[in-house]
Structure 1
């Protein structure tokens, strides 16, 4: 399988601080990767580096064989990097529908398809972003990223701080997007078991370096390794 996304020797961080220490990572077309690690190990920094929001000291990033290392974040988005940040960053003074169409790129994902995936958004389509619940804002952030018709979707803790019923809805939607629709994705999620249940492969970071690689099902079935790496055996 050809690599859709490829990172080679990435050293990156903020200001003079180096957080990532020579990260190599590949993502195949139609594959989803769980990016795991304890707090402060560099997961968000890695996502931000792919997006273009960190200082890169060394390394190279390719998307579908194209070197995007020198591109600005907006150019990377147009090249096919879809991003759902922890902060969601929706336009709170625009309606749901305006949020979806403001940065849309022509392709298979359109407003009606997003509404079919998230019926709550269709119900709230005339509401302003600041009138939505946290869960609805997260659905909107994911829907807006899909409207870019990306080659790869980066999801940074999309379930954080949400009520269990909303987590269940979002998990079902993400499983459809990743498994049924075949969207290539990298998923950062503190609940490792939830992330591993809907992804194909897993990478674990520790102190800015990759310390473990496995198939998602292999790691999910290996409670001892999962507990040793993340301390999640009881979850």
Structure 2
């Protein structure tokens, strides 16, 4: 498969602080990547840098053969990057359906496809964004990113703080996105054991640097490495 995303020697941060130092990796078209690491190691900063929301200090970002390093955030979205931030950022004064159609671009994903994936949203299509539960807002944030019909979708801790039943619904949706639809994705998640079965490869960050890369299946089947890199033990299942 051809390379969709190329990150070369990326350096970035906030203000005068440099958080990422020399980050390099590639992602093939149709592949998905689990971005793992303990809290505060630079995972969200890397996601934010890919969408153009940090202070760039050096390196290169290529998307589908185009150098997008100097692109603004809106131009990166147009180039094919969809983003589901931790804050969700749904439009609270718009209905569910208006949230989706406000950002729609032509392609595979439309309102009906999103409603098929998330029946809860179909039931609440006329509810305002501020009338949704946290889990429903997260579903809406994912659906809205899909409505951009991106080449690559970035999800920053999409399961954080949600009820177990909502977590399972979102995991099923993410599995469909990465496995059945073949949409390239980078997903940040604290619970590695939930994420590894639905991704192809893993990048582990530590203090803003990549310290380990592997196939997801290999890391999933190696509890000692999970514990070493992520402080995950069998008891964490």
What range is the shorter-chain TM-score in?
Answer: over 0.9
| Cα displacement string for residues 169-222 of structure 1 (whole angstroms, at most 9, x for unaligned residues) | 100111011100101000000001111111000010000000000000000000
SS in 2 for 1:153: strand
2:145 aligned residue: 145
SS in 2 for 1:104: coil
1:74 aligned residue: 74
What is the rounded CA distance, in whole Å, between the counterparts of 1:195 and 1:189 in structure 2?
7
What is the rounded CA distance, in whole Å, between the counterparts of 1:127 and 1:76 in structure 2?
30
What is the rounded CA distance, in whole Å, between the counterparts of 2:143 and 2:111 in structure 1?
8
Work out whether 1:50 is the aligned partner of 2:58: no
The unaligned stretches of length 5 or more in structure 2 are none
* Count of matched residue pairs: 235
1:38 aligned residue: 38
Work out whether 1:29 is the aligned partner of 2:29: yes
Q: Where does structure 1 differ by over 4 angstroms across 4 or more consecutive aligned residues?
A: none
TM-score normalised over the length of structure 1: 0.99
Question: Equivalences for 1:119-198 in 2 at 5 Å?
Answer: 119-198=119-198
| Cα displacement string for residues 104-137 of structure 1 (whole angstroms, at most 9, x for unaligned residues) | 1011100000000101100000000000000000
2:12 aligned residue: 12
What is the rounded CA distance, in whole Å, between the counterparts of 2:26 and 2:117 in structure 1?
28
What is the rounded CA distance, in whole Å, between the counterparts of 1:216 and 1:87 in structure 2?
27
The unaligned stretches of length 5 or more in structure 1 are none
2:90 aligned residue: 90
- CA RMSD after TM alignment: 0.5
What is the rounded CA distance, in whole Å, between the counterparts of 1:135 and 1:168 in structure 2?
11
TM-score normalised over the length of structure 2: 0.98
Give the C-alpha shift of residue 54 in structure 1. 0.3
| Cα displacement string for residues 130-182 of structure 1 (whole angstroms, at most 9, x for unaligned residues) | 00000000000000000000000000000000000100110011101110010
| Cα displacement string for residues 58-100 of structure 1 (whole angstroms, at most 9, x for unaligned residues) | 0000000000000000000010000000000000000000000
